[in-house]
């Protein structure tokens, strides 16, 4: 695999030949601790078939096991010391990265989870601070050097914590880790606050939490442009039902220093919509997954991340609960995950990551009715408009300032099955031809209501079917129930 880099306009990732990269990630944070080798193979095969391209993994994650043991029982750190990593533990992580490369996955790798820095988890439990300003540079250098020749790794610091957590400033810990990575990967002594072209060879982001008190959830929430090591922006729109990730993406898209942005931890499928959990708490379904994805992508995000409440932490058969009602193995085939292939088709065939958000054509909707919010983007040549209708229905678009074309061609793409429709029941391989007349342009989706979302393609040229799904469900093989390791 070849290394990815950031495009010249600083909006998205590209391959070595500058062709855009399709970023569709899955959060499988705890894989190195929880999933044994043959199940890793099954997981990767499944996600490959579904169209995923990136896996988000943590090297040291204590959330499910504070000892951070791999499936063979090997602890990640000898004597719980960051500077005595256990070779046998990391050999298994090496193997996972090998298999990811074999399947064609890039890996967003977090060297440590934020809990190890701040010394507490989200349930209020406290622990010794394993990662400190004094020991983190050496570890960053060590893990950076270990993986310096792996082209399929992208780096992410943070780990679900803001750099200022519960009033304590941990910025220098993360800065020292970034500098350590630079030494390990590039063999260069770079400084976190000194602009140097070499930082471009090591694009790093920061995974913040979603602060309930402030709503802050961006890489840049507590950092400034003086941080030379930060090159792309991760949002955590989070697991509540109310965050408007189209506004979060727009804010970062419009910032003075242009950087790629994506929603790297949106509402997970089968995740509770609020806390504390009780018997009446609803869970997020596939519609929420689709809304967050299309809203973000059409607002200027370079890609998107999917997550499932039982996959990120590798829930086992014995760990089923009201909070985690299925196993990670069962969760792999939930509706939202299967529908990633339809987003993949749209991204691949239209190159949506290169599109620009178009806010001015969309009608104003009531602020308190998120599910009516329409989002649009346009191709660089302005010959194609993509408009997301989260609840279908009828809307009037303002095309007079955008086009003077006498005729346009309309396609209605169903994000639930990846097909084009003439009406709610009838698929089609031909667009509808419409003459433009006047400033307002009223369109009606094939259906309307909850879970009836549609993507409208408006094109100035007539073509064949513009999006074709290439990643199809594979023949299911008989599989034994998968296990995770519970120490």
Whether the predicted pLDDT of 340 surpasses 80: yes
Confidence (pLDDT) at 474:
59
Confidence (pLDDT) at 477:
55
Confidence (pLDDT) at 157:
98
Residue bearing the bigger pLDDT, 404 or 359: 359
Dist. CA 305–CA 293, nearest whole Å? 8
Q: How far is CA 132 from the centre of its chain?
A: 28
Q: Which helix (H) or strand (E) holds 181?
A: helix 171-186
Q: Which helix (H) or strand (E) holds 408?
A: strand 407-414
Confidence (pLDDT) at 70:
96
What do you get for the CA distance between the two ends of the chain, in Å? 35
β-bridge pairing 153-157 and 204-206:
parallel
In the predicted model, what is the mean pLDDT of the chain?
94
The pLDDT-based confidence of 386 (bands split at 50, 70, 90) is: very high
Please name each of the domains of the chain with its CATH number.
Answer: 5-354 (3.20.20.80), 356-459 (2.60.40)
Confidence (pLDDT) at 475:
47
């Amino acid at each position: 695999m070849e290394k990815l880099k950031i495009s010249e306009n600083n909006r998205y990732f590209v391959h070595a030949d500058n062709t855009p990269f399709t970023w569709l990630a899955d959060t499988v944070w705890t894989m190195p601790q929880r999933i044994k080798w043959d199940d890793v193979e099954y997981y990767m095969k499944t996600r490959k078939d579904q169209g995923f391209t990136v896996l988000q993994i943590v090297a040291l994650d204590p959330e499910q096991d504070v000892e951070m043991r791999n499936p063979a029982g090997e602890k990640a750190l000898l004597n719980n010391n960051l500077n005595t990593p256990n070779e046998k533990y990391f050999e298994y992580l090496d193997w996972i990265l090998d298999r990811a490369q074999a399947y064609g996955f890039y890996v967003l790798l977090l060297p440590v989870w934020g809990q190890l820095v701040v010394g507490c988890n989200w349930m209020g439990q406290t622990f010794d601070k394993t990662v400190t300003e004094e020991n983190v540079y050496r570890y960053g250098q060590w893990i950076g050097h270990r993986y310096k020749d792996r082209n399929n790794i992208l780096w992410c610091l943070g780990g679900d914590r803001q750099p200022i957590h519960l009033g304590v400033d941990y910025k220098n810990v993360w800065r020292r880790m970034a500098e350590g990575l630079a030494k390990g990967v590039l063999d260069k002594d770079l400084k976190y606050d000194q602009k140097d072209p070499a930082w471009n060879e090591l694009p790093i982001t920061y995974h913040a939490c979603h602060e309930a008190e402030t709503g802050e959830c961006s890489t840049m929430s507590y950092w400034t442009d003086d941080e030379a090591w930060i090159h792309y922006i991760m949002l955590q729109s989070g697991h509540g039902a109310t965050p408007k990730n189209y506004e979060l993406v727009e804010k970062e898209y419009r910032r003075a220093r242009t950087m790629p942005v994506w929603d790297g931890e949106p509402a997970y499928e089968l995740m509770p919509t609020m806390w504390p959990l009780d018997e009446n708490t609803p869970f997020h379904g596939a519609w929420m997954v689709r809304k967050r994805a299309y809203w973000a992508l059409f607002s200027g995000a370079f890609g998107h991340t999917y997550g499932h409440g039982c996959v990120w932490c590798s829930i086992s058969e014995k760990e089923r609960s009201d909070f985690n009602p299925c196993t990670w193995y069962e969760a792999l085939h939930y509706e939202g995950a299967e529908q990633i292939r339809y987003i993949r088709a749209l991204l691949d065939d239209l190159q949506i990551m290169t599109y620009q958000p178009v806010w001015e054509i969309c009608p104003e909707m009531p602020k308190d009715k998120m599910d009516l919010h329409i989002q649009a983007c346009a191709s660089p040549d302005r010959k194609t408009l993509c408009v997301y209708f989260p609840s279908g229905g009828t809307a009037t678009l303002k095309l007079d300032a955008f086009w003077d074309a006498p005729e346009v061609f309309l396609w209605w793409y169903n994000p639930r099955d990846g097909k084009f429709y003439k009406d709610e029941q009838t698929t089609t391989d031909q667009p509808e031809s419409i003459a433009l007349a006047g400033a307002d342009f009223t369109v009606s989706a094939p259906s309307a209501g909850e879970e009836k979302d549609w993507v409208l393609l408006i094109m100035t040229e007539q073509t064949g079917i513009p999006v074709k799904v290439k990643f199809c469900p594979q023949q299911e093989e008989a599989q034994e129930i998968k296990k995770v390791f519970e120490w």
